[in-house]
Copies of this chain bind each other. A is one copy, B any other.
Amino acid sequence: MEITFVLQHMGNHMEEVLVVLLMDVLLAFLSLKLICKWILTEGQSRITTPRKETDTCKIFSGVSEGITTGTPIHVSVPNTDQRGHDYSEMAVAYRPSHADATYDMKYGVRSVQGGGRSSARETIGRVASGAVAKKILKEFSGTEILAYVSQVHKIVLPEDLIDHDTLTLDQIESNIVRCPDPEYAEKMISAIDAVRVRGDSVGGVVTCIVRNCPRGLGSPVFDKLEAELAKAAMSLPATKGFQFGSGFAGTFLTGSEHNDEFYIDEHGNTRTRTNRSGGIQGGISNGEIINMRIAFKPTSTIGKKQKTVTRDKKETEFIARGRHDPCVVPRAVPMVEAMVALVLVDQLMAQYAQCNLFPVNSDLQEPLVPILRPEEALL
């Protein structure tokens, strides 16, 4: 028996982007209206290129008379952005650094229209279910997940400019590049503009933090919390790397510089004075802020001529037609939050069943008790 937030993307047919969100957890206090609102807020308005899809999110199952029933929630978001693409060229030539060639190598066939499952549109499903996961975490343990853009091309946001203890969603959403520092946001926007006019693209880095994560999440050996987070993040399109805590930079420190010393805080909790561990020690959350950074490569679709080959192994040239996004990193912000939220709800459920069914040492174990009553959560 698997207790899990099962997330399944059902594909990406020509006519619609189908979002499927399976939840065996009972979310009976979540109203249909609220779910739709969250999905639309997260998945739509937080995307730089606005699309007019606000009124088209539809829930087919899992909700009855305003509350969820324990049945998987099926959310469908039609793709209204069909612009009469001519797919004939794409059907022949492999776009460089896209998944065209590898899908053929694997399956011997692929869905040209809409990009199939390698289209970034599949991430709407992740954001939709992540919205619900974030709600659960917020209600249950006051856990907050916030991501932001910390690098675009060569513009690197200095780490000490952002205070992770006080960072807010409003700060992140105050500009279209989703960088909480206004000055660096401007620089990033300029950097994107610089490549856009040349038909080129850039990548960057998304930083994500988790505040008030319950202690004790994660499993020893193979399913360490950082391993689960790494898999979740690296399953997003265009990712090239993942690091948490001190990350790759930490390899330049000595052990005495790197270790986090323990102390007892004013509430009697065991804490670390520094947080190079990134909120996770031995694969298990320790209650400090979890922080991680994910690298996204520059968008593969560019308005420049490139050499490539066709399905029938002839060399040719390819140039992408129509509009394309010169930098996907701001769009990746809600995707990263969603994947982190899904991992944490999974881990919360696991920990609740494994170690809270029979808690044995209440002095040491983190009690998993909702901070809000479900009735209160409805208000």
Q: How far apart are the CA atoms of A234 and B304 in the complex, in Å?
A: 37
Of A46-54, A161-169, A223-231, the one contacting chain B is A223-231
Shortest CB distance A140–B (Å)? 7
Shortest CB distance A41–B (Å)? 22
Question: Contacting A102 at CB < 8 Å: which of B13, B117, B216?
Answer: B216
**A244 at interface by CB-CB < 8 Å:** yes
Is there contact, CB below 8 Å, between B355 and A70?
yes
Question: Contacting A231 at CB < 8 Å: which of B118, B230, B298?
Answer: B230
Q: How far apart are the CA atoms of A284 and B103 in the complex, in Å?
A: 7
Is there contact, CB below 8 Å, between A71 and B116?
yes
Q: How far apart are the CA atoms of A27 and B361 in the complex, in Å?
A: 12
**A365 at interface by CB-CB < 8 Å:** yes
Residues of B within 8 A of A187 (CB): none
Q: 1/0 per position for A54-68, CB-CB distance to B under 8 A?
A: 000000111010011
In the complex, the count of this chain's copies comes to 4
**A219-B24 contact given A74-B11, A109-B67, A224-B235, CB 8 Å threshold:** yes
**A207 at interface by CB-CB < 8 Å:** no
Is there contact, CB below 8 Å, between A28 and B284?
no
In the assembled complex, 8 residue pairs joining A and B whose CB atoms fall closer than 8 Å, in A order, are A2-B2, A3-B349, A10-B72, A29-B358, A70-B107, A71-B220, A105-B364, A203-B251
Residue ID in chain B nearest A195 by CB atoms: B254
Residues of B within 8 A of A143 (CB): none
**A171 at interface by CB-CB < 8 Å:** no
Residues of B within 8 A of A151 (CB): 251
Q: How far apart are the CA atoms of A68 and B360 in the complex, in Å?
A: 11
Q: How far apart are the CA atoms of A354 and B365 in the complex, in Å?
A: 21
Q: How far apart are the CA atoms of A166 and B120 in the complex, in Å?
A: 37
Question: Contacting A241 at CB < 8 Å: which of B117, B247, B299, B365?
Answer: B247
Of listed A200, A362, A365, residue having the most chain B CB within 10 A: A365
Question: A1-32: which have CB < 8 Å to B?
Answer: 1-4, 7-13, 15-16, 18, 20, 22, 24-29
Is there contact, CB below 8 Å, between A102 and B235?
no
Shortest CB distance A338–B (Å)? 12
Residues of B within 8 A of A258 (CB): 97, 203, 297-298, 300
Q: 1/0 per position for A310-331, CB-CB distance to B under 8 A?
A: 0111110000000000000000
